[in-house]
Amino acid sequence: MERIRDSKISAVLFDVDGTLADTERDGHRLAFNAAFNDFGLAWHWNAALYGELLKITGGKERIRYYMESYAPDKLKINELENWIANLHSTKTKHFVALLKSGLIPLRPGVARLIQELRVAKIKIAIATTTTPINVITLLKSTLGENSPTWFDVIAAGDIVSKKKPAPDIYLWALERLGLLAHQCVAVEDSECGLRAALAAGLDTIVTVSDYTEKQNFNGASVVLSDLGEPLKPFTVLSGNIHGGKLVDVKMLNNLNI
């Protein structure tokens, strides 16, 4: 049964990787490989393998999963947790440098929607698994130096111990926003992220990415190619958007009605 929104929405919570920008294949993946090289490891995550590894959210968790599955001998390393944390912080340095080079743009409609939300005085939040510095650098490099201050809450990384698909990061962000789930909408790109948002009680728009387009998005309010631009509307993959062509404030207020 569809839920009916009782009033206009008060906030939009955005996922980051895959949703704000296509950061995974040509961003995070390259940064992981550069860090492996720095550490003298003969590990290489190709695009297909990385797609498989994405089912594990969080970079440190992904490295550990890879070791368990593909390089179990390395699990004997002294102070394994520290070693993984160091490898991961090297990866973060490479990723931040990549973002600063400006090669990773925002996805269609993201900058437009963020500006419309600001004008409409609808709160904006981030709920992501990735490391906080990655989010701040992505925002600065795409929307400008001051843009992180536009966000009422930035919930990222290890701020919660259970990463997506657990709802914890969304629940943390909602608490900081001082809002209830039914007052907000989440935007996600992956099944894992959708499960987290739904478990937090949020209506969720999915904008699919290359790595996620074949995933199961049952429960999403609508599944779209992207957020859409005036001259390049989105494609609707599932759900009812009442003839809209892009995700704007009007569409957000009419979601699920």
Residues of this chain that bind ligand XBP (CB under 6 A):
15-18, 24, 28, 57-59, 128-131, 134, 164, 193
Is position 248 annotated as part of the catalytic site?
no
Neighbours of 195 (CB within 10 A): 20
CA-to-CA dists, residue 186 to 11, 52, 219, 222, 253, angstroms? 9, 24, 12, 11, 13
Picked from Mg ion, ligand XBP, none, the partner binding residue 183 (CB below 5 to 8 A depending on kind) is: none
Angle value at C-alpha 26, between 23 and 27, nearest 5 degrees: 50
Closest CA to 151 of 135, 168, 167, 166: 135
- Candidates 168, 189, 191, 203; binder of Mg ion (CB under 5 A) is 189
Helix, coil or strand: residue 247: coil
Picked from ligand XBP, Mg ion, none, the partner binding residue 164 (CB below 5 to 8 A depending on kind) is: ligand XBP
Q: How far is the CB of 3 from ligand XBP (least distance, A)?
A: 24
Largest CA distance in the chain: 58
Q: How far is the CB of 109 from Mg ion (least distance, A)?
A: 16
Find the part of the chain contacting Mg ion (CB under 5 A) among 55-63, 101-109, 135-143, 185-193.
185-193
What the block records as the tokens of 90 is 């090297």
CA distance linking residue 151 with residue 137, whole number of Å: 14
Is position 15 annotated as part of the catalytic site?
yes
Which of 131, 215 has the CB closer to ligand XBP? 131
Q: How far is CA 72 from the centre of its chain?
A: 29
Picked from ligand XBP, Mg ion, none, the partner binding residue 123 (CB below 5 to 8 A depending on kind) is: none
Residue nearest to ligand XBP (CB): 59
Catalytic residue among 17, 22, 168, 226: 17
Residues 3-32 that bind Mg ion (CB under 5 A): 15, 17-18
Please identify every residue annotated as catalytic: 15, 17
